[in-house]
Structure 1
Amino acid sequence: MATAAVNKKKFDVNRISGGANFAINVFFWIYSALCIIPLLLVISVSFSDETSVLVGGYRFWPEKWSLESYKFLVSDYMVIVKSYGISIFVTVVGTIAAMLIMTLYAYPISRRDFKHRNLFAFIMFFTILFNSGLVPFYLVYKQGLHVDDTLFVLMFPLFVQAFFVFVIRTFFQNQIPPELLESARMDGAGELRTFFQIVLPLSLPVLASVGLLCTLNYWNDWFLSLLFISDDGPVSIQFRMYKTLLDIQYLSSNTQAYSAIMQANPNFKVPSETARMAMGVVGIGPIIFVYPFLQRYFVAGLTVGAVKG
């Protein structure tokens, strides 16, 4: 009887009423709609005619369909293709390297038998509280390491992010049983073999979660290209779109330059509003298809990693 009462109490504590469940579902449906509707509006405007947008405003269904904004962006398509290739390469290689480095750092500080775990954890935590600032950051890579105008400079600054290290460390502490590691050691497995063949396969939720966030950071980054890459250097697609936006703003505000272009090419038009939306669509790129494949790991990895510090 006592066992049944305890089980019933646990069931009552964790149970969600029908009304609360309905309210939660309605909230998340509304929240999801608020996230998706602006994206649909951006896509719709990007396929609209520039004149109809300027006259009638933004519409969820184009009043007049047009591909002029995309034709304007891909007028020099080799530049776009090159920037896309750079972004894909930096994102893939950078994410793999960052995950390897951060997991190799998080694993030792998650082991209670590691003597200096607190020292290395404090060093990583210190970087969250304080940073050197922009000028020393720029000088280290520009004049210290001399890696400007290279693909390496687009990846290296994001190799280690302290918050992700602590998320991974907490997952290792809470989800990897110490008895499992001890049994591996008794069977003759070394630390590297234990890490790669036992710990990592059991850590897919946190690896997928942190990997997705690293992927987003690399794909959306344009600031490193602005700092370290010259005009003829390898720039990401995000920075390429940023420069295109600046060019459009310059032509829109400088009538003399626009008139000179019109004299050389009378059919030239600058799709200002629709081009901005097209840049948003192009900038999203393939990254929008990554999340659905990692969704089942995402919530589990972050929630587990955020339970304890």
Structure 2
Amino acid sequence: MKEKKIKISEVRHRTFGKKTNLLFSILIGLFAFTCVFPLIFVMIISLTGENALVTDGYQLFPSEWSFDGYRYLYEMKEQILQSLLVTVVVTVVGTIVNVSFTSTYAYAISRPNFRWRRFLTIFALITMLFSPGMVPNYIVMTNMLQLKDTIWALILPMALSPFNIIVMRTFFNRSVPNAIIESARIDGASEIRIFVKIVLPLAVPGIATISLFAALGYWNDWFNALLYIQSDNLVPLQYLLMKIQANIDYMAQNAGMSSNMAGGAASIPREATRMAMVVISTLPIALSYPFFQKYFVRGMTIGGVKE
């Protein structure tokens, strides 16, 4: 029996050889490079001169380097900074609201003694499968809630995510033992105190995961601004960059209509500006990912396991 136990333990603790580890390290490194390379390539294109882009196309090592794309956007720095501030506020406030609603909803339906557990779970699943459509959403936001042209019109439509609810529900079921909650109830703790003092500290990886999902959604959102925002002071960054791109394309397509428009279109570095806008809109949220990484992997692993 002892010999069998030793053999079983040896099998369990057997590791790959050095050559196998090296092979997998190379494969993982190549995969990571393919994920990062597009952003690096876009940054190179944004720093390429417009003449070099027209003559040589996209090159890793361009013949002409230029900051014309960033200079063109710098001329609109006040409007871009205002839109960036709006986007940051919407992302931060929206993420807090989304995580608060999602985590409390998920915790409620994860408790076996909650009376409406099954009904609310099915309700969340139905909203994942069926959507009322754009027109009812617009009527609710503008006529019923009177939120048109307010910053809440950019926050509330994405304040609750059914997918994140299911992820957090599974996470709570697997990571928060019922024995701890029952013991806290016996000691006289209320449900809110149990949730804040016991459940939330145990659910940090899951909360970090859905926080990243929510932050990405708010940061990249432009459609709600297209529907509900008319004031220039409330335009988010993504929607502003889309408007700038649309104006550049319009000037380029109608350059032959007037000499002034032709001169303005010729002086705009179209391709470099387009790539510079991609860098400006992508880099800030990409830099925040390393802070969530260690929680993100664990949260997705636990929250994605089926019960």
CA distance in 2 between counterparts of 1:206 and 1:59 reads: 41
Q: Percent identity?
A: 37
Is 1:278 aligned with 2:276?
yes
Residues 124-154 of structure 1 show CA distances to partners (whole Å, capped at 9, x for unaligned) of 1111111111221222112221211111010
The one-letter code sitting in structure 2 at the alignment partner of 1:158 is M
Which position in structure 2 is the counterpart of 1:187? 187
Is 1:62 aligned with 2:62?
yes
Which position in structure 2 is the counterpart of 1:99? 99
Instruction: Say which is worse superposed, 294-303 or 130-139, in terms of deviation.
Output: 130-139
The one-letter code sitting in structure 1 at the alignment partner of 2:286 is I
Q: Is the 8 A contact 2:245 2:274 kept in 1?
A: yes
Alignment map for 1:199-214 (pairs within 5 Å): 199-214=199-214
Q: CA deviation at 1:229?
A: 1.1
Q: Is the 8 A contact 1:109 1:169 kept in 2?
A: yes
Q: Is the 8 A contact 1:153 1:228 kept in 2?
A: yes
Q: CA deviation at 1:14?
A: 7.3
Q: CA deviation at 1:23?
A: 4.1
Q: CA deviation at 1:62?
A: 3.4
CA distance in 2 between counterparts of 1:117 and 1:194 reads: 18
When normalised by structure 2's length, the TM-score is 0.93
Which position in structure 2 is the counterpart of 1:147? 147
Q: CA deviation at 1:66?
A: 1.2
Which position in structure 1 is the counterpart of 2:85? 85
- Secondary structure (helix, strand or coil) at the match of 1:131 reads coil
Residues 75-101 of structure 1 show CA distances to partners (whole Å, capped at 9, x for unaligned) of 121100000000000000100111011
Is 1:24 aligned with 2:24?
yes
Q: CA deviation at 1:261?
A: 3.5
Inter-CA distance 22–276: structure 2 relative to 1 (3 Å threshold): same
Which position in structure 1 is the counterpart of 2:295? 297
Instruction: Say which is worse superposed, 233-242 or 296-305, in terms of deviation.
Output: 233-242
Q: Is the 8 A contact 2:41 2:60 kept in 1?
A: yes
The one-letter code sitting in structure 2 at the alignment partner of 1:281 is V
Which position in structure 2 is the counterpart of 1:260? 260
Which position in structure 1 is the counterpart of 2:118? 118
The one-letter code sitting in structure 2 at the alignment partner of 1:295 is Q
Inter-CA distance 8–228: structure 2 relative to 1 (3 Å threshold): farther
Is 1:12 aligned with 2:11?
yes
Q: Is the 8 A contact 2:91 2:218 kept in 1?
A: yes
CA distance in 1 between counterparts of 2:286 and 2:211 reads: 14
CA distance in 1 between counterparts of 2:5 and 2:123 reads: 45
The one-letter code sitting in structure 2 at the alignment partner of 1:9 is I
Inter-CA distance 189–138: structure 2 relative to 1 (3 Å threshold): same
CA distance in 2 between counterparts of 1:116 and 1:144 reads: 28
Inter-CA distance 197–52: structure 2 relative to 1 (3 Å threshold): same
Q: CA deviation at 1:183?
A: 1.1
Number of aligned residue pairs? 306
Residues 249-271 of structure 1 show CA distances to partners (whole Å, capped at 9, x for unaligned) of 111111235632356x7x97111
CA distance in 2 between counterparts of 1:303 and 1:113 reads: 26
The one-letter code sitting in structure 1 at the alignment partner of 2:210 is V
Q: Is the 8 A contact 2:49 2:65 kept in 1?
A: yes
Is 1:158 aligned with 2:149?
no
Residues 5-25 of structure 1 show CA distances to partners (whole Å, capped at 9, x for unaligned) of 357436636755336544433
Alignment map for 1:40-51 (pairs within 5 Å): 40-51=40-51
Inter-CA distance 175–48: structure 2 relative to 1 (3 Å threshold): same
Q: CA deviation at 1:103?
A: 0.7
Is 1:109 aligned with 2:127?
no
CA distance in 1 between counterparts of 2:232 and 2:272 reads: 27
Residues 148-198 of structure 1 show CA distances to partners (whole Å, capped at 9, x for unaligned) of 111101010111110100111111111101111111111111100000011
Inter-CA distance 202–75: structure 2 relative to 1 (3 Å threshold): same
When normalised by structure 1's length, the TM-score is 0.93
- Secondary structure (helix, strand or coil) at the match of 2:234 reads coil
